[in-house]
Amino acid sequence: MTRSPNRMLGLILGAALVVLGGVGFVVSSHLPFFDAEGAQFAWILQVNGLQNTVHILVGAALAMAALSNERASASVNAWTGALMLVLGLAGLFLVGEPFNVFGLNSAVNVVHFAASAVLLAAGLGADSFASSRTETPDPLARP
């Protein structure tokens, strides 16, 4: 694997989301799959079965793209960042509502917005920025 910021971010965040989804299933196993309140996770976050499933699927997609190549990783990072931005915006309206099928709360929204910002930044330009900084011209090379 290269030193691509997209690939490193995709692999790290992908693995973290898969673990988060798995642990979330253990924490929320006593609740209905679409529970609007969710179960407490890490003292302030709420999770339910649907959110855990999405975490595992998105984490697997990020990790698989990171393991394949830079272009796939950048694309999946950007699309996942956009998806998390939409989910964060939707969460602003869903918190406290009975039809909150993802079991979102304010802390989860903050996490979605933060992950969105990082994924969008990486997916939309981190590799081109990193490559432009590492490609220094050879002063002794002939034109």
Across the chain, which has 143 residues, the per-10-residue mean pLDDT values are 83 95 93 88 88 95 95 95 95 91 92 95 74 53 57
Query: For the whole prediction, is pTM greater than 0.85?
Result: no
| Inter-residue contact 8 to 66 (CB < 8 Å) | yes
Instruction: For residue 34, list its beta bridge partners.
Output: none
Residue 88, H or E segment: helix 70-94
Return the pLDDT at 41: 85
Q: What is the pLDDT of residue 80?
A: 96
- Rounded distance, CA 95 to CA 74, Å? 31
pLDDT of residue 49: 93
For residue 33, the model assigns a pLDDT of: 92
- The answer to whether 15 and 59 have CB atoms below 8 angstroms apart is yes
Say how far apart CA 16 and CA 13 lie, in whole Å. 5
pLDDT at 20: 93
